[in-house]
Structure 1
Amino acid sequence: MTTEENSHEGESLKKVSGLYKDWFLDYASYVILDRAIPSVYDGLKPVQRRIMHSMRELEDGRYNKVANIVGNTMKYHPHGDASITDAMVQIGQKELLIDTQGNWGNIYTGDSAAAARYIEARLTPFALEVVFNPKTTEWSKSYDGRNNEPIDLPVKFPLLLAQGVEGIGVGLSTKILPHNFNELINASVAHLKGKKFELFPDFLTAGYLDVSEYNDGHRGGKVRARARITHTDKHMLVISELPFSKNTSDLIDSILKANEKGKIKIKKIEDNTSDTVEILVHLHNDVSPDKTIDALYAFTDCQVTISPNACVIVGDKPMFMNVSDILIMNTEHTVSLLKKELEIELHELQESWHFSSLERIFIENRIYHDIEEVKTWEDVIKTIDKGLEPHTKHLLRAVTEEDILKLTEIRIKRISRFDLDKFKENIAALEGKIEQVKYNLVHLIPYAIDYYLNIQKKYGKDRQRKTELRIFDTIDATKVAVANEKFYANFEEGFIGTSLKKDQYLFDCSDIDDIVIFRKDGTMKVVKVDAKTFVGKDLLSVAIWKKNDKRTVYNMIYREGSAGPYYMKRFSVTAVTRNTDYPLASDKKGSEVLYFSANPNGEAETVTVLLKPNPRIRKNKMEIDFSDLAIKGRDSKGNLVTKYSVKKVDMKEEGVSTLAPRRIWFDDTVRRLNADGRGTLLGNFKGDDRILTINTNGEVKLVSFDLGNRFDDEYLVLEKWKPQQPVSCIYYDGEKDMYFIKRFLLENTVNLQTFMPSEHPKSFIENVIVANGASAEIIFAKDKGKDRDSEIIHLDEFITVKGIKAIGNQFTKFKVKTINISIPEPVEEEPEVYEEPETGDGIVDDDRTVIGDLFESGEPEN
């Protein structure tokens, strides 16, 4: 190949590279501006805008076949009918702009819409009023130059935030979540009044939403959406609402996969969804419903995290904005559109007034007679102009030739029937309208506020918030995962894992659990569950470890070094670094653990220590009660047992828990129990203590104080249950049209109990009181125009304690206005606190100084 050919080839490659670079930028700009990203002003992508414009062209009040609308839209959108149909179905499913008829799919099940030839659509009244106005629309030529299409539709509403949008361009994407119709209007009104506002998403699929990290919809923020899950009984869960972006098929698939992997444990699942969501999850008898709900949130699509990314087109450029800025821009754009409409209306009214005034002058002064003898058209124009001139000083503008031409078009019939009184009325009406429009222009902000409120009044009635805002609790996956693996250990060789089926079986665990091991040399280590792991020979204990577990207490007696003294200690392990050896006894070589126990509820046993025979000691047997020791950290050295050689340590007596009852709080924001002091203190709990809940339907439950329990209902009562404390209930019987009162004790059962005797739809619970000494002040309604003095009733004296199914006694036979309850101040429950034993003989204090020995003796042995 010649040098010239090489040069030519290099030049060609350079040109192709340049072309590629330019073309790619053009393509990227086209995708971003003309396909994927919506305009901030009307909230629509180009295909959506063209669909709406096409529907307005075809609008005649009747439904049109979607196929016809799609065909008409293809005049403006050059990308085929499939993309238009898909985009139109998405708009229709948002239930705001398009009035649909036929099978438009199901947002709950994910079922697709019927073919375009089978379904119909027309614009909603809201769309006709808010989205279109050809007088304020800016137009551009369509792709083939044959038609005009809107650059932006003059939408006078924050449509972008109401519908939400998702799109992927070249190098960037957008994801704006839908918001509530009425909340958007309220926010726009608040902005116009100079007040602050806050906006959060709202979804048609309802569910729960945690917006604590929403960050106003800006990049970097996120929301967490959850399905609404309840349990009708201990064997079945019901999913009645979906998280955003998921349908029932997605949810069921994810649940079945989690079940196959052993993350959750369910018997079967049924989908009864139609117009409303109903997924039934059947549970095995040995499975906790509350724990399963948490597991569904942790391991399935019942909880999803969504990251908003508000990218919009402003002018001709993509911009990243937050939700508040978008709403402010939309609101101010609406104000500018309203101003433009008022200015156009004012101009039209003034023109109407101007021509009506000219018409009166023309007819009243009989100027039409002056043109009877005129020969040429030019002379006709001049004659009329000359005749009008003396009478036009009060007009708003000069008379033009166009005005005169319009006068010549007035019919003789209209001239002959000219009614001055009607004319004056018409002029007065026009002048009134002109003054009103001028007033609105001067007071543009109040006018815009009235516009928004009118829109809300007309179209916002059935658009209440569907998604419940709630702060979610953080679910620890290790606490809710089903034990789907069998765990084995070889204590001598130091191997543990799920594949060692020939060795000793220990327990069932989850594949995401942590395992803690203790060795005879006093070393501790935490590792993840695996098929086979070597953790060191001579194992003492292998167990599942939970982070921040303060209830599990380890009791240990060990020797410091091969010839050192013996110590005893009690400790807990709340935090570690995985795969790290922690010396619990001593760093000295030859240290050995003589006794070890793991106690899940802080139990403290009594052990017998036998010493090797030694002439220097008087007795070679002693007892140690671990309850005398304080619970310290794992690094503590412990208390001195003896300096002499120990033969063995035997268990003498099992102990009871030395831990104080747990102080339990209820956090209303996440509707969960906790032991961290968040929310309302329920009391001190131990053993079989229970929590009493009574909801607004009169359903009574006694539940354990397990921190995994869920409390999603609205409760009239949620407190620690006192078995001997009667429950008083004042309720209204809709069938008998009067108030009743009943008092009852609850049986210690986990079964659901109901105390509402009447099932009449007008029946309701007025008050539930769980306290002694309560009184009720009844304020009566007027009876035949007469006032009745209020009455005070002491509930404990008014009725005796009966069964939960009893109807109770009539509370009053008169019409009641209100009932005020007075309850004595409750006596706060004193927390039980166990004091740590004082430092004494044989105790190693915090600076680890040996004070004495537990035995009388001479010198320690060598």
Structure 2
Amino acid sequence: MSDDDDTDKTYGQTVAEPLSRAIGERYLTYALSTIMHRALPDARDGLKPVHRRILWAMRRLRLTPTGGFLKSAKIAGDTMGDFHPHGDLAIYDAMARLAQDFNMRYPLVDGQGNFGNIDGDNPAASRYTEARITALTEALLEGIDETAVDFRPNYDGRLEEPVVLPAAYPNLLANGSSGIAVGMATNIPPHNLDELIQGCQLLLKNPEASIADLVSVIPGPDFPTGGVLVEPKETILQSYETGRGAFRTRAKWELEDLGRGTWQIVVTEIPFQVAKSKLIEKLAELIQLKKVPLLADVRDESAEDVRIVLEPRARNVDPEVLMGTLFRNSDLETRFSMNMNVLIDGRVPKVCSLKEVLRAFLDHRRQVLRRRSEHRVEKIDHRLEVLEGFIIAYLNLDRVIDIIRYDDEPKAALMRETWGRSFPRALSEKDYVSPAPGEGELTEVQAEAILNMRLRSLRRLEEIELRQERDALMEERAGLADLLASDVLQWARIGEELEDIRKKYGKGTENGRRRTTFAEAGEVEDVPYEAMIEREPITVICSKMGWIRAMKGHVDLSVEQKFKDGDGPRFAFHAETTDRLLLLAENGRFYTLLGANLPGGRGMGEPVRLMVDLPNDTGINDLILFKPGAKYLLASSAGDGFIVPAEELLAQTKAGKQVLTVKDGVKTAVCVPVAGDSVAVVGENRKLLVFPLAELPEMARGKGVRLQKYKDGGLSDAITFTLTEGLSWKDPAGRTRLETDLTEWQGARAAAGKMAPRGFPRDNRFN
């Protein structure tokens, strides 16, 4: 029973199968379709199906580099209707990318109109733009009419499309490619065509050449937008050996002297695939947020070329330090991740090394050369057969004319006639065998050609020209036969063809010169953020509701300040713009603020919750100045605590840093600087405990250890002091009281302690 019969039996019926198998089969089909026909380029011509179909459709529309332009809508429509039924917008976007000189190192489409720009603007609608192919596209298509590649039916079987293009140069590496398939992706950077051809020539001379030898002539990518490649050579070599890696690229900049000691930085090239407008926005954001205080202003003065002007904050700023900071904080430095995942022979996806990709291209070129040569031999054989018939006709011209004039079936009569040989066989039997069926008989092809001759061709000179043409064709055929029989000659011919491409589009041309230069990274040492800020005195004021501001200068702290209705003062201290402030929340998390970033003191300030990610239901416990080398006693209301270095309190993000671990219902109670050799702790039960500071551990984060034991309530306050100097506090009358004999309250850590002495503050706090 045939498959068709089986199909007819099950048509319209419900077929039961496991869900896992049904989904698996269908997903596998989808995955293979995405990998083979959409996302991954072919290693031979470097094109995905959509790009190949666009170029083939443009070839069928007779668009040439020197001819006229055609509406992009017509090109996209023909491509969609004949070869790629996936939507004209997707086709037009793919075609527009082929025309963008900031995306394609060697554009394959010559666009007229708005095809987008480096700022990230989209191309105009397809009805407004026009296009034609470029000379390099012609090189990709060269030989396609000479059966150089296989063809397959299009999606509806009406037409045929090429499986792959002949590709006279390694387009995969020249223009690069990117795509995301199912379970795999590809991202290949563009390279310099001149260097790629040098690499191919190296492989032709020495097939065993190493990748290190290839990297000596192909040192790295050549991006269309230029830039400076600062990746170490060892890393580049490793990337080309494995097919995976990354290339670190920086913007190209120069110092422009404005006279009188002033200067500015001009960026003339930006990294590949960075939208200039978004880059400008990012730089402006850095200025607004004061993340790069050395930078005062940024302007985009670009026209046809890129010109981004960066103004320093002061003339004494080090340009190298400024650019180093910008490289770390913006897209003036990017990493291009390489993943050379390509289709080998159009069927097998594989992550290839540089040598494997070039080898795949050269093997393809050899196949194209053989097929073109075989096609040419067939054409020559056919022409030689016709020429032999022509010369027989010339030597027997009267008889030929008589047959044509009087015979009812001249074609059959010509083929029946026995003619004398017109010339000795110039080719050997192995090179050329006459297709004539018998000695002196004309073949059907010869008879047809004779009948189709024009009368004006019956000249003596024509016979001479035909004999010359015959001799030239015989010589050409002999050369092709030698070529097909010799691997050495084939590789030599491929080398000659590549050299012709190199002369036309190599480094000797404007478009062929290398754009991306090389340099060492020249890492700038991390400069402390404070060092980039102009040091000025400020007065920090924070209200009870968390509104913070910084007044210029050191204002008298006793002077009353204005606050919003229902709000009042809480923290006020002198600082400098270079200082870092540590904000401690009730949840045990520390946040870092910079004095230079605080809002000005003319108004009421701004809520600190807008500057850090402080939850709305979490209050502020303390606000202190960061002092390098200092240590703090940190404790919770449950009576647990530890010693923490100040450096461990700094947070790098707005989200802050969790230092003190607290449970639900427990809050941060104490954060005091460590000074002395003892700790005094007082609970809400007014019991006081004094124990040695050495009993507390030093930690970076955590819950800590028990400071004092409580039956009810929790910790109220804690302080560190020198035992020999005694413990002081202010009594309810405002007088300072000093207690030097603390023997009664001394004990071990985690003890309950004893009732505080008479006159101890009613709020249970030491200060």
| Fold shared, TM-score > 0.5 on shorter chain | yes
Q: Give runs of aligned pairs for residues 803-822 of structure 1, distance below 5 A.
A: none
Contact 2:52/2:164, CA 8 A, preserved across alignment: yes
Query: Counting strand residues as a fraction of each chain, which structure ranks higher?
Result: 1
Match of 2:342 among 309, 312, 316: 312
Query: Counting helix residues as a fraction of each chain, which structure ranks higher?
Result: 2
Q: Give runs of aligned pairs for residues 267-666 of structure 1, distance below 5 A.
A: 267-285=296-314, 287-314=317-344, 315-366=346-397, 368=400, 371=403, 380=413, 382-384=415-417, 386-387=418-419, 396-397=432-433, 398-399=435-436, 401-411=443-453, 413=455, 416-419=458-461, 420-438=463-481, 441=484, 442=486, 443-460=489-506, 461-462=509-510, 463-477=512-526, 479=528, 482=532, 502=572, 505=575, 507-509=578-580, 516-518=628-630, 526-527=647-648, 529-530=650-651, 539=674
CA deviation map 1:319-366 (0-9, x unaligned): 111233212211231233123223322332343233212321232145
Q: What is the identity, as a one-letter code, of the residue corresponding to 2:299?
A: E
Q: What is the identity, as a one-letter code, of the residue corresponding to 1:226?
A: R
- Matched residues in 1 for 2:184 and 2:107: separation? 28
Instruction: Name 2:116's counterpart in structure 1.
Output: 105
Q: Give runs of aligned pairs for residues 217-232 of structure 1, distance below 5 A.
A: 217=240, 218-232=242-256
CA deviation map 1:245-284 (0-9, x unaligned): 1021121122233334432123322111221111112222
Change (3 A) 1:516 1:379: same
Contact 2:632/2:671, CA 8 A, preserved across alignment: no
- Matched residues in 1 for 2:41 and 2:16: separation? 37
Unaligned stretches of 5+ residues in structure 1:
1-10, 490-497, 542-560, 563-576, 581-589, 593-862
Greater RCO between the two (CA within 8 Å, min separation 6)? 2
- Matched residues in 1 for 2:513 and 2:68: separation? 28
Instruction: Name 1:209's counterpart in structure 2.
Output: 229
- Matched residues in 2 for 1:255 and 1:528: separation? 29
Contact 1:484/1:509, CA 8 A, preserved across alignment: no
Instruction: Name 1:91's counterpart in structure 2.
Output: 98
1:103 to partner: Cα distance: 2.1
CA deviation map 1:520-541 (0-9, x unaligned): 9999774252479789965579
Match of 1:131 among 127, 141, 151: 141
CA deviation map 1:759-779 (0-9, x unaligned): xxxxxxxxxxxxxxxxxxxxx
Contact 1:175/1:311, CA 8 A, preserved across alignment: yes
1:197 and 2:214 aligned: yes
- Matched residues in 1 for 2:184 and 2:111: separation? 33
Instruction: Name 1:727's counterpart in structure 2.
Output: none
- Matched residues in 1 for 2:426 and 2:465: separation? 20
| RMSD of equivalent CA atoms | 4.1
CA deviation map 1:563-597 (0-9, x unaligned): xxxxxxxxxxxxxx9779xxxxxxxxx999xxxxx
Instruction: Name 1:247's counterpart in structure 2.
Output: 275
1:512 to partner: Cα distance: 11
- Matched residues in 2 for 1:126 and 1:539: separation? 74
CA deviation map 1:132-186 (0-9, x unaligned): 4222131111112222111111112101111111111121111011111211111
Deviates more, 1:359-368 or 1:528-537: 528-537
Change (3 A) 1:538 1:124: closer
- Matched residues in 2 for 1:407 and 1:131: separation? 31
User: Aligned to 2:304, what secondary structure does the other structure show?
Assistant: coil
Contact 1:294/1:480, CA 8 A, preserved across alignment: no
1:62 and 2:68 aligned: yes
User: Aligned to 1:116, what secondary structure does the other structure show?
Assistant: coil
- Matched residues in 2 for 1:376 and 1:89: separation? 59
Contact 2:140/2:165, CA 8 A, preserved across alignment: no
Q: What is the identity, as a one-letter code, of the residue corresponding to 1:208?
A: V
1:503 to partner: Cα distance: 5.5
User: Aligned to 1:275, what secondary structure does the other structure show?
Assistant: coil
1:178 and 2:290 aligned: no
- Matched residues in 2 for 1:49 and 1:153: separation? 7
Q: What is the identity, as a one-letter code, of the residue corresponding to 1:302?
A: L
- Matched residues in 1 for 2:675 and 2:630: separation? 5
- Matched residues in 2 for 1:17 and 1:381: separation? 72
How many residues align? The count is 535
Change (3 A) 1:357 1:224: same
Instruction: Name 1:585's counterpart in structure 2.
Output: none
Q: What is the identity, as a one-letter code, of the residue corresponding to 2:302?
A: T
Q: What is the identity, as a one-letter code, of the residue corresponding to 1:269?
A: V
Contact 1:515/1:528, CA 8 A, preserved across alignment: no
- Matched residues in 2 for 1:480 and 1:523: separation? 23
User: Aligned to 1:363, what secondary structure does the other structure show?
Assistant: helix
Contact 1:237/1:280, CA 8 A, preserved across alignment: yes
- Matched residues in 2 for 1:25 and 1:59: separation? 39
Report the identity percentage.
26
Contact 1:349/1:434, CA 8 A, preserved across alignment: yes
CA deviation map 1:451-485 (0-9, x unaligned): 11111112231211101112213455554685599
Contact 2:403/2:410, CA 8 A, preserved across alignment: no
User: Aligned to 2:629, what secondary structure does the other structure show?
Assistant: strand
Instruction: Name 2:178's counterpart in structure 1.
Output: 166
Change (3 A) 1:185 1:480: farther
- Matched residues in 2 for 1:412 and 1:236: separation? 78
Q: What is the identity, as a one-letter code, of the residue corresponding to 1:529?
A: L
CA deviation map 1:300-334 (0-9, x unaligned): 11111121111112232221112332122112312
Instruction: Name 2:40's counterpart in structure 1.
Output: 37
Contact 1:292/1:480, CA 8 A, preserved across alignment: no
Q: What is the identity, as a one-letter code, of the residue corresponding to 1:182?
A: D
Contact 1:37/1:167, CA 8 A, preserved across alignment: yes
Q: What is the identity, as a one-letter code, of the residue corresponding to 2:513?
A: Q
CA deviation map 1:111-144 (0-9, x unaligned): 2222212221111223223324222131111112
- Matched residues in 2 for 1:232 and 1:416: separation? 77
Deviates more, 1:70-79 or 1:319-328: 319-328
TM-score by length of 2: 0.62
Unaligned stretches of 5+ residues in structure 2:
1-13, 438-442, 541-548, 551-569, 582-591, 595-625, 634-642, 661-669, 677-691, 694-698, 703-719, 723-767
Change (3 A) 1:515 1:440: farther
CA deviation map 1:181-207 (0-9, x unaligned): 211111111211215322311111111
Contact 2:392/2:422, CA 8 A, preserved across alignment: no
User: Aligned to 2:273, what secondary structure does the other structure show?
Assistant: coil
1:156 and 2:268 aligned: no
Contact 1:208/1:226, CA 8 A, preserved across alignment: yes
Change (3 A) 1:346 1:480: farther
Q: What is the identity, as a one-letter code, of the residue corresponding to 1:471?
A: E
- Matched residues in 2 for 1:14 and 1:484: separation? 74
User: Aligned to 2:196, what secondary structure does the other structure show?
Assistant: helix
